[in-house]
Structure 1
Amino acid sequence: MSSVGRLRSRAEAEASRLPPLLAQAEHLAGTVLLGEHGRRRSGLGDDFWQYRPVQPGDSLRMIDWRRSAKSDAQFVRQREWQVAQSVMLWVDASPSMGFSSVKDGTTKGERARLLALAVAILLIRSGERVGLTGTQLPPRRGEGQILRLTEMFLREETGDYGSPETRAMLPHARAVFVSDFMGDFDAFSDALTKAADRGVRGVCYQVLDPAEEDFPYRGRAVFESMGGSLTHETKKADDLRIRYFERLAERRAQLRDLCRVTGWQYGSHHTGDSTQAALLWLHRALEGRR
């Protein structure tokens, strides 16, 4: 097959993946019944927020005379403060995220893309600007941005493990990093520190396969990274169990401590768990409540 033919074949294969991912994300977002997203407080805006009693300094034109006529007091009609914020997403697309312990099961990458896109749909439809970290897809509003995000999420990276992109992080934006966070911890630490220095706050969401939590391996086993660069063979996988659990607990503790120091939130999810519960947690975490 010619290079043009191979390119066309790959493009068609990628395009065929886009509608299912988008449909799944749309369905998932639709199952999470959420109210208006965000920061409900008085200020400039179009939506009614509340009535409050007149205070010293309020001008006569601020008084709602119709509401005031119903009582002996005078009231001011306040509107909801509505300013769209920017939310930056990073979804690990490295080979490590392609792991699934079950044949034809959901990979970590598939679950990460689904959750990130569903979050993006909820945010965009509540008026927020959503984009990717880096320079390839700046935050925008609108349905067209959902399609662009879907396309970008289907791209793959090289190297065994991914690390967050920190270029073009908008000051005081919010961010969501979704990964297994199994790679170089210093890269994660540098990324969150740089983001925090720019006033960015967000969520580190760790997605793991149940086998990575349980380590169900016994006897002779060959462990190989998804990228193929790391291999370890043992005749007694049982002997690695305790050390593996210690390393996993250490990495989680590192991530939690890093999030605490930088003002971020840490969450975790297994591919065998409920996607609805995961999406609800993510959305609430972005709102500052869990």
Structure 2
Amino acid sequence: MSATGSPATVLGLRQAADQEASTLPPLMLAAEQLARTVQMGFHGKRRAGMGEEFWQYRPMHAGDEARFVDWRRSGRSDAQFVREREWQLAQTLHLWVDDAASMRFTGMETGRAARPEKGARARLLALALAILSVRSGERVGLTGALVNPKPGRGQIMTLAQMMSQAGEVDDYGIPETSAVRAQSKVVFLSDFLGDPQRMAESLRRLSGRGVTGVMLQVLDPVEEDFPFDGRTIFESMSGSLRHETRKAGDLRERYRLRLAERRDRLAQMAHAAGWQFGTHHTGETAQAALLWLHSALERGR
């Protein structure tokens, strides 16, 4: 048999691959590309004090690497089995991506290079992190009950489809955490511009169940710099809030102070719950944010 195959066979395979790729949400393709730029790790698996002792066999899932297959055990049945060691025990990661109206904001100026909406960047980071986690054998799902944590590439497809759906109409979002499992890990991606008290209550409930995690604040550079002067009309993304001023520049220092105070409060809330907190601007590279998320999960284990 030829290693390359006939021209007709190669063309057929290419057409099949193109057809399969065309059915994937654009978010999925972008997240796959982003995930490839980050070295795959085993966050949540390298537990201190645990060694190489054999733990158990489990059926092979989509996304498992062939190097973990125990071929001797697999040869005794029709299925393939993975030989897990203590440091390979699967962990559970829950994701919450704020899809409220405020996350649709982008301060991109006309004629400038494209800058994504906050929500688009948050979804990209969440799905890329999910891809890395699934490749490490972890179970990944959402914090709500719509997508329970599961391993495998099929779960990534489900997450991509859910994240590609239309968002909420409310200005600011609060995570639904009723489905988060005890002792699991959670990642929140949001601008965290809503009621901080409600977020603090969510963190307290989760930390009381042994849940650790990461909060990544996603902001547009305009929201950080406040480059407005003169007559300006500020309006929330849903249109429910509106403020007009003739001297926007006079608000700059007060705005920046309030934003810094909110960030300090969020960081203190995260610290009290045993979580990590960071900020990412959509004008920065997604790779840097994904690396930070990956490292933050490592530090929080």
TM category (shorter chain) comes to 0.7 to 0.9
Q: Is the 8 A contact 2:183 2:210 kept in 1?
A: yes
Q: Structure 2: which amino acid aligns with 1:111?
A: R
- 1:250 maps onto 2:256 in alignment: no
Q: How far has the Cα of 1:98 moved from its partner?
A: 0.3
Q: How far has the Cα of 1:95 moved from its partner?
A: 0.8
Task: Give 2:33's aligned residue.
Answer: 27
- Structure 1 or 2, whichever has the larger Rg, is 1
Q: Is the 8 A contact 1:44 1:81 kept in 2?
A: no
Structure 2: distance between partners of 1:19 and 1:168: 25
Q: Structure 2: which amino acid aligns with 1:123?
A: S
Task: Give 1:194's aligned residue.
Answer: 205
Any idea what SS the aligned residue of 1:248 has? helix
Q: Are the structure 2 counterparts of residues 17 and 227 from structure 1 closer, same or farther at C-alpha, using a change threshold of 3 Å?
A: farther
Q: How far has the Cα of 1:243 moved from its partner?
A: 1.1
Q: Are the structure 2 counterparts of residues 173 and 289 from structure 1 closer, same or farther at C-alpha, using a change threshold of 3 Å?
A: closer
Q: How far has the Cα of 1:242 moved from its partner?
A: 1.1
Structure 2: distance between partners of 1:271 and 1:161: 18
Q: How far has the Cα of 1:34 moved from its partner?
A: 2.9
Any idea what SS the aligned residue of 2:150 has? coil
Q: Is the 8 A contact 1:45 1:81 kept in 2?
A: no
Q: Is the 8 A contact 1:164 1:187 kept in 2?
A: no
Any idea what SS the aligned residue of 2:213 has? strand
- 1:228 maps onto 2:239 in alignment: yes
1:115-264 correspondence to structure 2 within 5 Å: 115-155=125-165, 156-264=167-275
Deviations 1:65-118 (A, max 9, x none): xxxxxxxxxxxxxx5532101111000001100000115531000000000000
Q: CA RMSD in A?
A: 2.1
Task: Give 2:75's aligned residue.
Answer: none
Q: Structure 1: which amino acid aligns with 2:105?
A: F
Q: Is the 8 A contact 1:163 1:188 kept in 2?
A: yes
Q: How far has the Cα of 1:273 moved from its partner?
A: 0.6
Task: Give 1:39's aligned residue.
Answer: 45
Q: Is the 8 A contact 1:97 1:180 kept in 2?
A: yes
Structure 2: distance between partners of 1:17 and 1:238: 48
Structure 2: distance between partners of 1:283 and 1:144: 22
Structure 2: distance between partners of 1:44 and 1:83: 11
Q: Is the 8 A contact 2:141 2:159 kept in 1?
A: yes
Under a length normalisation based on structure 1, what TM-score does the superposition of the two structures give? 0.80
Unaligned runs of 5+ in 2: 1-21, 58-84
Structure 2: distance between partners of 1:280 and 1:252: 21
- 1:109 maps onto 2:119 in alignment: yes
Q: Is the 8 A contact 2:97 2:122 kept in 1?
A: yes
1:262-273 correspondence to structure 2 within 5 Å: 262-273=273-284
Any idea what SS the aligned residue of 1:267 has? strand
Q: Is the 8 A contact 1:18 1:154 kept in 2?
A: no
Structure 1: distance between partners of 2:41 and 2:87: 16
Structure 2: distance between partners of 1:93 and 1:111: 11
Any idea what SS the aligned residue of 1:287 has? helix
> Identity of aligned pairs, percent?
55
Q: How far has the Cα of 1:36 moved from its partner?
A: 4.0
Task: Give 1:71's aligned residue.
Answer: none
Structure 1: distance between partners of 2:56 and 2:25: 35
Any idea what SS the aligned residue of 1:283 has? helix
Q: Structure 2: which amino acid aligns with 1:29?
A: A
Q: Structure 1: which amino acid aligns with 2:171?
A: D
Q: Is the 8 A contact 2:45 2:90 kept in 1?
A: no
Q: How far has the Cα of 1:206 moved from its partner?
A: 0.2
Say which is worse superposed, 228-237 or 157-166, in terms of deviation: 157-166
Say which is worse superposed, 218-227 or 17-26, in terms of deviation: 17-26
Q: How far has the Cα of 1:38 moved from its partner?
A: 3.8
Q: Is the 8 A contact 2:115 2:283 kept in 1?
A: no
Any idea what SS the aligned residue of 1:212 has? helix
Structure 1: distance between partners of 2:294 and 2:105: 25
Any idea what SS the aligned residue of 2:93 has? strand
Aligned length: 245
Q: Is the 8 A contact 2:276 2:300 kept in 1?
A: no
Q: How far has the Cα of 1:19 moved from its partner?
A: 2.3
